[in-house]
Amino acid sequence: MEDRQSSRQSVDSSVFQPPANKSKTEELGEKMKRIDVKPPTALGLLAKNTALLPSGIVRVKQLRDAALNEASPSSGASSSGSATGNPRNKTALAPGHSLMDWIRLGSSGVDLTGVGGKLLSVTPAELAKHNTENDAWIAIRGIVFNVSRYMSFHPGGVPELMKGAGKDATKLFDDVHAWVNYQSILQKCVVGRLERSAGAELLFESDQPKPKKSTKSETEPVPDPPAAVKMDWRQTTNTVSMFYAATQTAQPLGECRVKKLSDSEFSLRICPAGKSGDIVTHNVKLIEDVEWPPNCQRSSEAPELEIVFKKKNRGIWKKYGSFAESREKADSTQRSYNEYEVLENTPLCKIVHLLVLRAQNYMQIVPPGRHVEAKMKVLSTEVSRPYTPVPSFIHPEERPATALTDDCLCLMVKRYEDGAMTPSLTALQPGEKLCLSNTLGDFVAEEFDSFAAMHLLAAGTGLTAMLSIVKRALSRRNPPSINLINFNRDEDSIFYGRELDRVSGERTLSVTHVLSAADSSWSGKRGTVSEDLLKDLMGEQSPKACVFTCGPPGFMEVARDSLRKLGWQASQMREFEG
């Protein structure tokens, strides 16, 4: 298999043959439905362990394919079959320890991590303590897994798995079966990330410049300031991924901008989340050409970013290439603009339009809750207004097959007939141009991650500030409960309602639409923001919850006063300009 050469590899679905007995396949499918097992999509897996695992590696149906293969007479597997999907078992597994049984155990709600599902930062010394059969942790490519419960499911037997217990088993794993998709099999066993101590071997292929060793005859060099961003890389035969993570002492990542310089060169500009700090720029030269645009995935658990390029020519690279780093002090007052082309202009309701925009050879990754400034000429006069980019989809598992590429930005714009800019902005046609600024604002979503619940109060287009916050919250490993209260005038003024309703209810998101001038057919909530209405929809004040509000000035003033009377503290509240 060519893909076995990959340094981070998915299970090739071609390994699994389609079941010969159709009735058994159908029966197995019904069993999987009854236990509510879903195959982990690439983005679905990231929603569970987004702080740890790279995007673009996990294939959509590997576990289901493996489970179907288990039922196939042609595979020769039985109830003691391989839990990795590999029919070449070295050890006969006990009844009840097949792949299907492992999937069922992982879906039962049992804590397989042994640490309550919290993501830990594990030192090599701590890892070494967990080296017994009943308490076994193993590290593969920087991720620590608790494999204690997996021991009896391992097709190679307990002794083979114990060879890696309490240590970094990356090389051992690669020597035996580097092509096996351990991320998917052990996704419910993730303990955390292995710390990279000064004496530890790098767990990823790292290309950070290494300091030269000084000699007695040399003058003691002045140490460089600690790196704000660390870079690693990994690859499959089809893709190369650049992985960026803020150091422990750095603040969360802010805006990220990627610019294509040539088919094999790009620059990445990472801004700090706060008003101060360094802007880090990496100019990267790859050894071979890649396709544009890349896929970008920001972690919702840690200050990390992964950029995945598709290789123009399949194969394994000996190295990724080289990079040069530069830094400059951040200036929150600085404005820089890029020209965007309108791809789509779609009415969402009678007064709100969705604009889909794309710049040439450039992509801008805007943090949740931040905005950009749109600028255009109206009657030979330059006019600008702030707008909050919105995601093209809300929940990772709801991503449509025709989802926009990651270099697109989406704006929701409300048309005001007497407005200086919005009549022209909402009239833009595909192919016309618009200028957008760099990211503005100071909201840092990570500052609210300690809250177990969030209430979002949005009036009109104030909803736009909330959508990226909702998407990030839903993608977290342990998402908070989200109570979105959406205020509008009438049903015709509601936009994005169906998309929100589609991901609400069964998940941690609840959506309530409140209309101030609904007609007689409306069966939902009526009224305007008030102390009584908020108490009814939010319940009692809780120190474990936060409140975000966005809307017109009058709405914001009443909401602020009402929340204070209900006992909400300033530290729990965040306002966005509507």
Q: Give 71's contacts (C-beta < 8 A, 6+ positions apart).
A: 19, 21, 24, 25, 27, 28, 77
- At 192-218, the pLDDT tens digits run 888 864 333 333 344 444 444 444 444
The answer to whether 130 and 124 have CB atoms below 8 angstroms apart is: no
70 neighbors 77 (Cβ within 8 angstroms)? yes
User: CB of 208 within 8 A of CB of 234?
Assistant: no
Please tell me the predicted confidence (pLDDT) of residue 201: 36
Q: How far apart are CA 497 and CA 569, in angstroms?
A: 30
188 and 137 share one domain: yes
Do 361 and 413 lie in a common domain? yes
Indicate the pLDDT class of residue 288, thresholds 50, 70 and 90. Answer: very high
Domain boundary among 329, 354, 369: 329
- In this structure, are 47 and 188 located in the same domain? yes
Q: Are residues 521 and 570 in the same domain?
A: yes
Show which of 407, 437, 467 is a domain's final residue.
Answer: 437
Q: What is the CATH number of the domain that holds 23?
A: 3.10.120.10
Q: What confidence tier does 392 reach under pLDDT thresholds 50, 70, 90? A: confident
| Domain match, 259 and 292 both | yes
Task: Please report whether residue 221 resides in a domain.
Answer: no
Mean pLDDT of 439-468: 95
Q: Which tokens go with 465?
A: 């500030």
- Which residues have CB under 8 Å from 452's CB, separation 6+? 480, 481, 544, 545
More confident residue, 346 or 502: 346
Has residue 213 been placed in a domain?
no
Based on the domain organization, do 508 and 415 belong to the same domain?
no
Contact between residue 303 and residue 365 where contact means Cβ atoms under 8 Å apart: no
Place of tokens 């209405």: 533
Q: Is residue 542 part of a domain?
A: yes
Domain that holds residue 393: 337-437
Same domain, 264 and 177: no
CATH label of the domain that carries residue 545? 3.40.50.80
Other C-beta atoms lying within 10 Å of the C-beta of residue 156: 17
CATH number of the domain where residue 260 is located: 2.60.40.790
| In the chain, % of residues over pLDDT 70 | 74
The stretch 406-410 carries a mean pLDDT of: 93
| Residue of 443, 444, 524, 442 lying closest to 485 (CA atoms) | 524
On the question of pLDDT at 293 being above 50, the answer is: yes
Q: Is residue 182 part of a domain?
A: yes
DSSP 486: E
pLDDT-based confidence at 169, cuts 50/70/90?
confident
In a domain, 381, yes or no: yes
Position 132 in a domain: yes
257 in the same domain as 320: yes
Average pLDDT over residues 238-242: 93
Domain's final residue, options 283, 306, 329 = 329
User: Is pLDDT at 7 greater than 60 in this prediction?
Assistant: no
106 and 137 housed in the same domain: yes
As beta bridge partners, residue 304 has 245
Residue with tokens 């052990």: 186
Question: Helix 62-71 crosses helix 99-106 at what angle (to 10 degrees)?
Answer: 140
Q: State the average pLDDT over residues 115-142.
A: 89
How many domains, the chain? 4
Going by the DSSP 8-state scheme, the letter that residue 221 receives in this structure is: P
**Of 248-252, 310-314, 475-479, minimum mean pLDDT range:** 248-252
Q: What is the mean pLDDT of the chain?
A: 79
pLDDT confidence of residue 281: 94
Cα–Cα distance measured from residue 469 to residue 474, given in angstroms and rounded to the nearest whole number:
9
Shared domain for 389 and 488, answered yes or no, is no
Is 457 found in the same domain as 418? no
| CATH code of the domain in which 345 resides | 2.40.30.10
The most confident of 116-125, 237-246, 247-256, by mean pLDDT: 237-246
- Cα–Cα–Cα angle for 536, 542, 547, rounded to 5 degrees: 75
Q: Is residue 204 part of a domain?
A: no
Cα–Cα distance between 129 and 326 in angstroms, integer?
Answer: 40
User: Is 108 contained in some domain?
Assistant: yes
Q: Are the beta carbons of 357 and 411 closer than 8 angstroms?
A: yes
Measured CA to CA, the distance from residue 461 to residue 414 in angstroms comes to 7
Q: Check whether residue 112 and residue 57 sit in a common domain.
A: yes
